[in-house]
Amino acid sequence: AQSVAQPEDQVNVAEGNPLTVKCTYSVSGNPYLFWYVQYPNRGLQFLLKYITGDNLVKGSYGFEAEFNKSQTSFHLKKPSALVSDSALYFCAVRGDSSYKLIFGSGTRLLVRP
């Protein structure tokens, strides 16, 4: 069965510092991995995805994520956090033979000035 775990309900970081939001997954076959961000009263906004190729994926707004097959992880990172990055972040996965996207429970990122 497919599953996604985001072990941290909230991540706090100071503006200008690097940030990491953790995600681990379980899926049959090759994983398709996604990160989405959700601002208050807004829908989910796509940040980046891993399908195949380079393990380091670059996305919108300076975010990147590293795919680690042995650890079944896909952590979201940013070298220098902005206050405007404060939002709810969701990791999602699907197998390469399935359309069904499974979401994690979300991690709230709080960047303090």
Partner 1 sequence: EAGVVQSPRYKIIEKKQPVAFWCNPISGHNTLYWYRQNLGQGPELLIRYENEEAVDDSQLPKDRFSAERLKGVDSTLKIQPAELGDSAVYLCASSSPGHAGEQFFGPGTRLTVL
**40 forms part of the interface with partner 1 (CB under 8 A):** no
What's the sign of the alpha-carbon dihedral 43, 1, 22, 79? negative
Q: Which of 1, 41, 70, 113 binds partner 1 (CB under 8 A)?
A: 41
Q: Which of 11, 13, 78, 94 binds partner 1 (CB under 8 A)?
A: 94
Cα–Cα distances (Å) from 112 to 7, 15, 72, 90, 102, in that order, read 21, 6, 30, 20, 30
Could you tell me the two tokens for 95? 């197998």
Going residue by residue from 74 to 93, which x/- string records binding to partner 1, judged by CB under 8 A? Answer: ----------------x-x-
* Closest CB to partner 1 among residues 66, 103: 103
Q: How many CB atoms lie within 10 A of CB 109?
A: 21
Least distance (Å) between residue 84 CB and partner 1: 19
**32 forms part of the interface with partner 1 (CB under 8 A):** yes
